[in-house]
């Protein structure tokens, strides 16, 4: 018999807040997402329909959008936020708008992030917001910054970017809200790292406000994590870090092969898993200075951290130890962790349907590409439907 303090097999807890109708809808959704042809054709047709102005937004909103997103606005997301909070699962607000290019769009994104901070500050169940630096400046500028090739004309754009980031972090620091800053592609990540490190030096003195993201599918990131901790120790500030496996593996390997440089990605999944779990252990060993979030859908890594926390005698509600999963996925992990007493969140994207479609397509493609992900989600949903039928 298992002596673990938690089980991820309890579907009654995992789906307690879902109605029978919602479960049947989720089952239908994951069945579709398990079909590669449907995902490929559906993604292509959705992009094309939106591009030429066909009225498909209502269909998207009623299907994949409602599975993975909170609402088109903060206000529309309140029922999702409240529902999660009732299950002791907090919310990480993620404004899902991306792929913008103009200063007006970047400034509008900043205003929305500040609105999200104000919204979160009034709700104990929303301790974090999430953002991408590519939401506040052009990808090409970050490329030049990472390569050390910025032009004299870039100086103004860099200054504007720093002002935008400062406004967001100042707002968060004055609130009871922290900011998770996403990782990006490796060829712009050096610029992102430098910007986020500077923000942590400024804002993480009294509490962890700014969190960087470490992608452990890169073979150099475990060493980066340790250097970042050492810098925080030396500088007298908290290291805030979100640990993920990574989101750009195929793109990274293809670019490395095309341009003839060594791939930054680990050679196999076993190496990624080993680094991820070692990173969890390292952060836990240094929770006096490191606040971290295990952002993973991996059951083994989640259990690894659960066991480590219990073995170390760390308070399950220690403010520096957090778990997170995406809305609409891995409810068996999220809700069972929360019921057992761990700090657990769901990433809740929100934003206009048209603007969030790129995020939704990535979710569909990610579920298809992660070995066993769709099958696992389907199996658990079907088990809960059967349990309710037999009850």
Q: Under the phi-then-psi rule, with left for phi > 0, alpha for psi from -120 to 50, and beta for the rest, what region is 69?
A: beta
Query: In this predicted structure, what is the pLDDT of residue 101?
Result: 80
Query: In this predicted structure, what is the pLDDT of residue 221?
Result: 97
With contact defined as beta carbons under 8 Å apart, do 128 and 92 qualify? yes
Query: In this predicted structure, what is the pLDDT of residue 60?
Result: 73
The three state secondary structure string of 82-114 is: HHHHHCCCEEEEEECCCCCCCHHHHHHHHHHHH
Most confident of 28-37, 65-74, 282-291: 282-291
| Per-position DSSP letters for 202-241, written without gaps between them | HH-SSS--EEEEEETTBTTHHHHHHHHHHHHHHHT-PEEE
Nearest-angstrom CA–CA distance, 386 and 380: 10
H/E element, 157? helix 154-173
Q: What is the mean pLDDT of the chain?
A: 88
Q: Would you say residue 40 has pLDDT above 70?
A: no
**323 beta partners:** 294, 344
Contact residues for 212 (Cβ-Cβ < 8 A; gap 6+)? 181, 183, 193, 196, 197, 200, 228, 239, 240, 241, 242
Pairing mode of beta strands 128-131, 90-95: parallel
What residue ranges define each of the domains in the chain, with the CATH number in brackets?
73-354 (3.20.20.220)
Tokens 């529309």 appear where? 76
Q: How confident is the model at residue 371 (pLDDT cuts 50, 70, 90)?
A: very low
With contact defined as beta carbons under 8 Å apart, do 142 and 185 qualify? no
Query: In this predicted structure, what is the pLDDT of residue 328?
Result: 87
* Higher-scoring residue by pLDDT: 65, 154: 154
Average pLDDT over residues 132-137: 93
Nearest partner of 11 among 391, 367, 336, 296, judged by Cα: 336
242-270 pLDDT, tens digit per residue, is 999 987 788 889 999 999 999 999 999 99
Q: How confident is the model at residue 142 (pLDDT cuts 50, 70, 90)?
A: very high
302-321 pLDDT, tens digit per residue, is 999 999 999 999 999 999 99
User: What's the pTM value of the predicted model, to 2 decimals?
Assistant: 0.91
Average pLDDT over residues 330-341: 95
């Amino acid at each position: 018999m298992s002596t673990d303090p938690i089980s991820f097999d309890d579907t009654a807890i995992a789906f307690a807040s879902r109605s029978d109708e919602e479960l049947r809808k989720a089952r239908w959704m994951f069945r579709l997402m398990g079909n590669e042809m449907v995902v490929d054709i559906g993604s292509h047709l959705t992009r094309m329909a939106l591009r030429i102005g066909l009225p498909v937004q209502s269909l998207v909103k009623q299907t994949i959008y409602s599975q993975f997103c909170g609402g088109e606005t903060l206000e529309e997301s309140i029922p999702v936020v409240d529902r999660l909070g009732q299950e002791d699962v907090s919310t990480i607000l993620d404004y899902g708008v991306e792929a913008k290019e103009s200063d007006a769009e970047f400034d509008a994104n900043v205003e929305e992030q500040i609105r999200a901070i104000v919204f979160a500050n009034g709700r104990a169940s929303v301790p974090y917001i999430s953002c991408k630096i590519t939401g506040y400046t052009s990808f090409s500028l970050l490329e030049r910054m990472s390569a050390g090739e910025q032009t004299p004309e870039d100086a103004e754009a860099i200054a504007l970017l720093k002002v935008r980031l400062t406004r967001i972090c100042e707002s968060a620091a004055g609130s009871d809200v922290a900011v998770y800053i996403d990782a990006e592609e490796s060829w712009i990540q050096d610029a992102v790292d430098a910007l986020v490190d500077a923000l942590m030096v400024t804002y993480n003195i009294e509490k962890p406000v700014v969190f960087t993201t470490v992608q452990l599918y890169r073979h150099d990131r475990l060493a980066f994590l340790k250097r970042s901790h050492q810098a925080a120790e030396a500088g007298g500030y908290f290291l805030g870090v979100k640990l993920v496996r990574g989101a750009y593996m195929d793109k990274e390997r293809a670019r490395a092969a095309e341009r003839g440089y060594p791939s930054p990605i680990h050679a196999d999944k076993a190496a990624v898993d080993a680094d991820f779990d070692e990173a969890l252990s390292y952060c836990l060993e240094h929770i006096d200075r490191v606040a971290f979030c295990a952002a993973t859908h991996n059951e083994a890594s989640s259990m690894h951290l659960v066991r480590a926390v219990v073995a170390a005698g760390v308070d399950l509600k220690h403010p520096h130890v957090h778990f997170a999963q995406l809305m609409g996925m891995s409810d068996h992990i999220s809700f069972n962790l929360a019921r057992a007493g761990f700090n657990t969140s769901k990433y809740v994207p929100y934003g206009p349907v048209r603007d969030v479609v790129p995020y939704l397509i990535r979710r569909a493609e990610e579920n298809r590409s992660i070995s066993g992900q769709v099958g696992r989600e389907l199996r658990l949903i079907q088990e809960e439907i059967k349990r309710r039928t037999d009850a």
